[in-house]
Amino acid sequence: MKTPLSPSETTGKRDWIGLINESVHTSDDIDIGDIDAVSRDFVVVKRGFVNIHYYYIPISKVEGWDGNVLWLKITEEQVIKKNERDIIPDPSRYYIKDYPSYSTAYYPEITTIPTKYARPMYTTATTLPREDIPKVFKCELCGESNFKTEDELSVHVKAKH
């Protein structure tokens, strides 16, 4: 079985174009959207599906890539005040995944930073759950947890919600 890549192995293979569609977080750990376009000077972050916001972030405001998220040096408030524009990125000036006509001879190097977010480790088939810990079947919508089986919980959800 192949082991997952460490962040340093993952980040070593990334470039700015490879980060398109990756998540972007501010210094106050707010997810402000995904990378929509890049140029040698800006990362364009797109937030939302219906009410779309575009943030034009200077590359100098990027802290780095941690293998999961592109982190900024600025807060969400600063991003909204200084970098929000109601302008769709122009494919002649930005590399956009569906319109790769933009090209530049140089992209700045992506700074690799230590991972700030670790994905939770789930039990695998080789690790069996402990028998001495009772299972709890709880309805997340109403908080009721007096169910003895998963089937009882399913009946409750169908009937009440």
pLDDT single digits (tens) 56-71: 999 999 999 999 999 9
Q: How many Cβ atoms from other residues are within 10 Å of residue 130's Cβ?
A: 7
**What local confidence, expressed as pLDDT, does residue 4 receive?**
44
Q: Provide the pLDDT confidence category of residue 119 given band limits of 50, 70 and 90.
A: low
* Dist. CA 38–CA 53, nearest whole Å: 16
Count: domains in the chain: 2
pTM: 0.67
Q: Identify whether residues 13 and 92 lie together within a single domain.
A: yes
Q: How many Cβ atoms from other residues are within 10 Å of residue 67's Cβ?
A: 20
Q: Identify whether residues 74 and 17 lie together within a single domain.
A: yes
Phi then psi for 23, rounded to 5 degrees? -75, 145
CATH number at residue 46: 2.30.30.240
Structural domain span for residue 140:
125-161
**Nearest alpha carbon to residue 154 among 135, 133, 138:** 138
Asked if the model's pLDDT at residue 121 lies above 80, the reply is no
* Dist. CA 94–CA 75, nearest whole Å: 24
